[in-house]
Amino acid sequence: MVLQRNQDNVAVRNEQFTVHYEEIHLQAWRLALYLCGRREDAEDLLAETVAGAIRNFDKLRDVSKFKGWFMKSMRNLHIDHIRRSKRQMDVADFGGDVMVWERLGRYPQIEGPQRSAEARQIFRAIDMLPESLRTPLVLNALEGLDIREIGDVMGLGQSAVKVRIHRARKKLMELLGEDFEVS
Q: pLDDT tens across 106-126, in order? A: 444 444 555 567 777 888 888
User: What mean pLDDT comes out for the span 29-50?
Assistant: 90
Tell whether 88 and 108 lie within a shared domain.
Answer: no
What pLDDT is recorded for position 37?
A: 80
Range of the domain at 183: 99-183
Tell whether 58 and 139 lie within a shared domain.
Answer: no
Q: Using the 3D structure, point to which of 43, 75, 92 is the last residue of a domain.
A: 92
Tell whether 84 and 124 lie within a shared domain.
Answer: no
CB atoms within 10 A of CB 7: 10
Q: How many separate domains does the chain show?
A: 2
What pLDDT is recorded for position 4?
A: 53
Predicted TM-score (pTM) above 0.95? no
Tell whether 72 and 31 lie within a shared domain.
Answer: yes
Tell whether 80 and 124 lie within a shared domain.
Answer: no
Q: Using the 3D structure, point to which of 71, 92, 113 is the last residue of a domain.
A: 92
What pLDDT is recorded for position 131?
A: 87
Tell whether 133 and 68 lie within a shared domain.
Answer: no
What pLDDT is recorded for position 49?
A: 96
What pLDDT is recorded for position 29?
A: 93
Question: Residue 80: which pLDDT band, with cuts at 50, 70 and 90?
Answer: confident
pLDDT at 3 over 70: no
Give the model confidence (pLDDT) of 133-164 as tens digits: 988 998 888 778 889 888 888 888 999 999 99
| CATH number of the structural domain spanning residue 80 | 1.10.1740.10
What pLDDT is recorded for position 93?
A: 41
| CATH number of the structural domain spanning residue 146 | 1.10.10.10
pLDDT at 181 over 90: no
Tell whether 58 and 105 lie within a shared domain.
Answer: no
Tell whether 139 and 159 lie within a shared domain.
Answer: yes
Tell whether 147 and 104 lie within a shared domain.
Answer: yes
pLDDT at 72 over 80: yes
